[in-house]
Amino acid sequence: MEPAGYFLLAGTCLLVAVALPTLLHRYAVSPAMVLLLVGVVVGLTPLSDGLVLDVSDHHDRAIVEHVTELTVLVALMGVGLAIDRPLDLLRPSTWRTWSPTWRLLALALPACVAAVALLGWAALGLAPATALLLGAVLSPTDPVLASDVQVGGPGSSIADDEPDEVPYAEDQTTSTESSEIRFALTSEAGLNDGLAFPFVHAAVLVLAGGSFLTGAAEWASWYVVGKLVLGVLVGVLIGRGLGRLAFRAKTSSLRLAEQGEPLLALAALLTTYGVAELVRGYGFIAVFACAMALRAAEHRHDYHRAMHDVVQRLERLLTLVVLLLLGIALSSGLLDALDWRGVVAGTALVLLIRPLTAWLSLSVLPRTGDRAGGLDRRARLAVAFFGIRGVGSLYYVAWATSHAEFTDADWVWATVGFTVAFSVLVHGVTATPVMRRIESEPA
């Protein structure tokens, strides 16, 4: 294709991406669905010449890894800025308002990994390391493609008469059922992209072999605890420091909030991720923690919305690139290695494993009357079902297959590609009508 053709294709797709959210707002069709299908159609035409990425090639795989990595990072910064409900590690009352999130992370996430890995190993005949890798890369929900079921943005769930200092206090009730659903899904997606990394590392360690006791001790102490703590510390410290600088600096030229300069969000993202990775912490967790700490500096300030808007636009652009390339890959050879086992694994994850594990994690040990941190039956069903898979899974499989030689790597790529596409279609069709019905009807 001529260079001018690439510009035409990019401009047309960007125009489609910009117009779709408004055009499709009333319909049971998500922008992600349309963009993915556009990519599939492009992949079937000569327009895709030069755009097809071969995931078996190290160079192309590196491109996928870095593009998806940046997309997830931008989404995590946006999600952290968008959440109105504060989380203060020194105030236990704020922990309880995040009860659905902790349940989804501590119970549903590892249960989902274990269920997919067991299915792959015991029923589908995969090697143990490959089965564990499949469970790990498909376990995180996605902060990029879940816009239809996420919170609306900074200030969207803060009432005008809500106290500025103690939002969501321990004795406060939730505003609406839909806001609790959106909060649970948004906060889960913001944190589990980083918490899936220990399981990806576990798959690499299993592939490398060695002593089980030594490997398990190293994994638990360093990959589960050490890197997680480093990521949180880096994110909180940088977020608080930048928040103090932007809102309370003694020099007026450094008070970026007064100037309304929204690029601070991108500077915070890049700085935090760089520092976290240099000290070998989890960068995804660090970026989300940084965004939360930055938001907490002045909880209700309009500056957060300005930063969020910039991040959201960049996220939309990067999502366009990822979905277009994924769609092209799906119709240009990515699914060649897919067989019935991959279809079973992906379908079971989306329709059975995720809903069941999330439902059980949200239902155990219910706290009667806890409306700040609990969910009723219909809300639990919605949260359990909308476990959207997406860009995070593509990043993890690119990272893992670049760092180790897994058996059936092409099959894993094909299965992940199928699962992401299946999730985009299923959840894209159901998100709008389900959320509209929940918001229009009493519980």
Q: Model confidence at 443, in pLDDT bands (50, 70, 90)?
A: low
**What's the rounded Cα separation, in Å, for the pair 318 and 74?**
9
The predicted-structure confidence for 28-47, as pLDDT tens digits, reads as follows: 677 788 889 888 988 888 87
**What's the rounded Cα separation, in Å, for the pair 63 and 67?**
6
Q: How far is CA 273 from CA 70, 84, 235, in A?
A: 10, 23, 8
Per mean pLDDT, which range of 123-137, 154-168, 191-205, 358-372 is the poorest? 154-168
Mind giving me the DSSP string for 253-287?
Answer: GG-HHHHT-TTHHHHHHHHHHHHHHHTT--HHHHH
Per mean pLDDT, which range of 207-221, 289-303, 396-410 is the poorest? 207-221
Judge whether 202 and 212 are in contact, CB under 8 Å. Answer: no
- Residue for token pair 């898979």: 389
Q: Is the CA virtual torsion 373, 89, 390, 406 positive or negative?
A: negative
Judge whether 43 and 329 are in contact, CB under 8 Å. Answer: yes
**What's the rounded Cα separation, in Å, for the pair 37 and 376?**
36
Choose between 34 and 160: higher pLDDT: 34
DSSP 221: I
pLDDT beyond 90 at 24: no
The predicted-structure confidence for 255-275, as pLDDT tens digits, reads as follows: 888 888 889 999 999 999 999
The predicted-structure confidence for 307-342, as pLDDT tens digits, reads as follows: 999 999 898 889 888 999 999 999 999 999 999 999
Per-residue pLDDT, averaged over 82-94, amounts to 81
Judge whether 173 and 443 are in contact, CB under 8 Å. Answer: no
User: How many residues are given for the chain?
Assistant: 443
Percent of the chain with pLDDT over 90: 52
Choose between 195 and 251: higher pLDDT: 195
What pLDDT, on a 0 to 100 scale, did the predictor assign at position 349?
A: 97
Instruction: List the structure tokens of 81.
Output: 């800025």
The predicted-structure confidence for 171-190, as pLDDT tens digits, reads as follows: 333 447 788 899 999 999 98
Choose between 215 and 221: higher pLDDT: 221
